[in-house]
Amino acid sequence: MHTINLESGMPTVEEARERLKSQLLKAKQGNKKLLKIIHGYGSTGKGGILKGAIRKSLVHRRKEKLVKVIIWGEYFSRDKLQTKELLKRHPSLKSDKDLDRKNEGVTIVELN
């Protein structure tokens, strides 16, 4: 799985959105199917601006058919149906360190 760290360098929301779109297109061109987006969850642990903006952008990318599946980190768990289906298609995910950790600072993405 390819990792995109949008939190690195403490970008503005707009910079992070631009980086996300650019990296998604680059991953698609490189035939990468699975991505882990690191966006953080805010220093207070109550949710950050970047997390919400990136998640909203990912939903837009799904509507544009660039993204097939989005799994928020807190739902990236073996007991969730969407994760179970993704694990069947991509068994290598079973060894991912964030599986079953309920990590709100990441989002798992499958590209079309």
Per-residue pLDDT tens over the stretch 21-40: 999 999 999 999 999 999 99
The domain segmentation of the chain, as residue ranges, is 2-111
- Please give the CATH number for the structural domain made up of 2-111: 3.30.1370.110
| Angle at which helices 49-63 and 13-29 cross, to 10° | 40
Number of C-beta neighbours around residue 33 at 10 A: 16
Terminal alpha carbon distance of the chain: 15
For the stretch 43-78, pLDDT in tens is 654 447 899 999 999 999 999 999 999 999 999 999
Handedness of CA 42, 47, 52, 54 (dihedral sign): positive
Nearest CA among 56, 55, 67, 64 for reference residue 109: 67
